Amino acid sequence: MRADAVAVGSTAVSLVQTEAIRRAGGAIPVPGWAGIAVLALGALYYVVLRPAAIGAGLVSAAGIATVLGSLPTFLHVCAFALLTSVVAATDMRGRACICSAWVGIDALFEMAQHALISPTLAVPLEHWCGALAACRRTSQFFVQGTFDPADLIAGVIGGLAAFSVLRDARSTPELTR
């Protein structure tokens, strides 16, 4: 996980802590803690198992990384659905919409990596954004990424897992306004 990804994760945690603590009267709600824990697992995965990540692959376990290849997608959808729901959702319908939105966002980014789609997106994106670093990175992500149908499934399962946590926690006082 690169420094910019860690910064985004830190910002998400800060937002959840601030809003959730305000709404819960001083305590972070259970789904907020769950989201933070899942986000931490994702960071740990990148540090330990991904060679290009911060830890330069502390464990040389290509086999493990292959088996757990779709785990980051699961963790990403689950963590951000939980964190966003704690901050923004007011009822179960809103939480379901947030979980679905994160599944959709991840699915779109996954499909954008498909060999038939990525070239069509990358060139116009770079042309449209010019020198904007975020656009170049996104364009490179599309072209250099690998489409994997297992990631689509992992994203759906991550969204369902997040919704399950949110559904089970709905009766806790810290989730009510």
Whether the pLDDT of residue 133 is over 70: the answer is: yes
* Residue 102: domain span: 3-175
* pLDDT tens, position by position, 27-42: 678 888 899 999 999 8
Residue the block writes with tokens 């959730």: 20
Residue with the larger pLDDT of the pair 139 and 96: 96
Total domain count for the chain?
1
Q: Look at residue 103 in the predicted model and tell me its pLDDT.
A: 98
CA angle 47, 69, 148 (to 5 degrees): 135
**Quick one: tokens of 127?**
């042309």
Taking the whole predicted model, whether its pTM rises above 0.75 is answered as no
Confidence of residue 54 (pLDDT cuts 50, 70, 90): very low
